[in-house]
Amino acid sequence: MSDEKTMPEVRTNGLIKMRTSDLIALIVFFVISIIAFFPSVRNTMYKNVSLNSWILVILTFCVPIYNIIAAYLSLGKKTESVGE
């Protein structure tokens, strides 16, 4: 069965419910990325490169890793519900 929604349905019920974990991940992402621009962080140098750049690199790698884990877990949940 298609999970596609019609536009009138979208307008009354919303398109899709955001997962709580996604919302938390979004908040964490924006908080850490804003902290990376704080003076004490951006003026700290590691290997002649600002800590800001290193934090953004780690953060950028974390986003797909989170997404892959979340997609994998939600796929597992769907398989379970089909099995039932």
Q: Which of 28, 35, 60, 73 binds another protein (CB under 8 A)?
A: 60
Beta carbons of 52 and 37 less than 8 angstroms apart: yes
For residue 67, state whether it binds another protein (rule: CB under 8 A).
yes
User: On the CB side of 3, how many CA atoms lie within 13 Å of its CA?
Assistant: 3
Tokens of 39: 């003076």
Q: Which of 5, 28, 35, 73 binds another protein (CB under 8 A)?
A: 5
For residue 73, state whether it binds another protein (rule: CB under 8 A).
no
Beta carbons of 37 and 56 less than 8 angstroms apart: no
For residue 71, state whether it binds another protein (rule: CB under 8 A).
yes
Residue among 36, 64, 66, 63 at smallest CA distance from 52: 36
> Which residues make up the interface to another protein (CB under 8 A)?
3-5, 7, 10-16, 18, 22, 25-26, 29, 33-34, 37, 42-43, 45, 47-50, 52-53, 56-57, 59-61, 63-64, 66-68, 71, 75
